[in-house]
Structure 1
């Protein structure tokens, strides 16, 4: 059965947003996520808060629901301090944190720190290599805590750790689950090696503004699903051992237009082999604006 989650963007002061996180839990959603950006291209103006601080606050007002980043990237996070933040979030949440992590893109987060030769961010090749290396070091750091194995030294091309201390380690052992996003060969090999969850979104084929159709969107999702199966089988890992999450939002699928539309899309998502499906908490206007009543109508608690 498809597990349902909700993405709550950090675009409101938490004194207002707290009720949304509590409501997601009360409505029976299995997991709740937030975007990890410095600047989000989907909502370029208006308030925008830090993801990890938001999740720590969300952990304090919920008890059962899983919480995660959708997705964090190396664009502005060095794996050593990030690992300590992850360990701390796992503690604050009582072992409910899931690390959603990807390579990032050429968006504002890639430019804001002036990386790359032209200050516009790293090349696609370098982003992919940084992603692989940062996942490797995060795995080592987060698996090292406790039992006298709390220090890690790692020297890579892009990242290093010297006697890095992770004590007492994650609540979840050997570490928090990794939900990894990737579509290319290098990224998928990283997924196969390290992931407990595969993450994709329904804009793989572009967005409606680019002329992408619903059929093209489904074809892109089928293609990435087959590529993942092939990568898993090539490395001797049973495809059935890796859960798969799909985030729905800005594609032509228009998942949250109505309950009937949600049921139609989610049914096909499950047929493609996805085990988890995430929709956005409705916004009143702009990006991700959808009828508010649909959230209640599709909620697991009301099924």
Structure 2
């Protein structure tokens, strides 16, 4: 059974402390360490919260093996021209270890922080499609001029390009038809958090059924695009499903959770690094044991 285990480290640490958190993630053997790319997030709004790209840059020079990335970036406060330059630079600094998690964004603080009205779902989806398409072009071509409905690139240069060729991988977070079509066209991975409608009152069985349906629709989108769905990694960011409060109770609980999702076709599970007194509170010793023992137990089943 092929399953990768990764972590997401929220950008809440001053670097004197954060450096060790990212180094420990590498020492524990995680496949990748991601961070959120928001200006702030939910209950952390009035608490420390640092920028994703500077944090990942610091992590890149403090580690040597672990893959690094956003989970996820959105168009809410980004422009593809400037983001492409930052990603190219980060890929170079890390020696080709960067993956871009990317999604359409939501209606939270990021959506209005620059003074704009929150976009409608229709506009958000349209912007997302144009954003991903232009970002792909910027990262695979040395120069680009393009005038879209929402984004313009005027003789934008992205030289020398990414270390990873033809560009760094995109992990696209999507569940709707338009987003899944984007995943099939541009993605090297797909990201899910499960079904938000089941967060409060759903059951683990309902959650797994929803994820199974998402993966089936991803396969249909790939078929429509002439793409083999087996080419895509399928990443699950945990912490948003009905069993979020029990899956980290023990190594055995995690192994059961991971095994059931591996059967659905998930190939990478991402755990939040524990944060006391938050939605992501967990026993750090259990978290460490899951990192060092969990996958070994899973593969032996």
State if a TM-score over 0.5 links the two structures.
Answer: yes
TM-superposed deviation, 1:213:
2.6
2:235 corresponds in structure 1 to 245
Whether 2:165 is the aligned partner of 1:129: answer no
TM-superposed deviation, 1:42:
4.2
In structure 2, C-alpha distance between the alignment counterparts of 1:278 and 1:218, rounded to whole Å: 16
Aligned partners of 1:79 and 1:138 also within 8 Å = yes
Aligned residue runs from structure 1 range 1-303, under 5 A: 1-115=2-116, 119=117, 121-144=118-141, 150-208=142-200, 211-254=201-244, 255-300=247-292, 303=296
Give the number of equivalent residue pairs: 292
TM-score, scaled relative to structure 1: 0.93
In structure 1, C-alpha distance between the alignment counterparts of 2:226 and 2:285, rounded to whole Å: 45
In structure 2, runs of 5+ residues without a counterpart are 297-301
Pair 206,50 (structure 1): closer, same or farther in 2 beyond 3 Å: farther
TM-superposed deviation, 1:206:
4.0
In structure 1, C-alpha distance between the alignment counterparts of 2:78 and 2:59, rounded to whole Å: 21
Aligned partners of 2:174 and 2:191 also within 8 Å = yes
1:147 corresponds in structure 2 to none
In structure 1, C-alpha distance between the alignment counterparts of 2:248 and 2:34, rounded to whole Å: 17
TM-superposed deviation, 1:214:
2.1
Q: Deviations over 1:62-103 (max 9, x none)?
A: 000000000000000000001000001001101000000000
**Structure 2 residue matching 1:299: 3-state secondary structure:** helix
In structure 1, runs of 5+ residues without a counterpart are 145-149
Aligned partners of 1:282 and 1:292 also within 8 Å = yes
TM-score, scaled relative to structure 2: 0.94
Aligned partners of 2:71 and 2:102 also within 8 Å = yes
CA RMSD of aligned residues (A): 1.3
Aligned partners of 2:4 and 2:269 also within 8 Å = yes
**Structure 1 residue matching 2:270: 3-state secondary structure:** strand
TM-superposed deviation, 1:203:
4.8
TM-superposed deviation, 1:109:
0.8
TM-superposed deviation, 1:265:
0.6
Higher normalized helix content (fraction of residues): 2
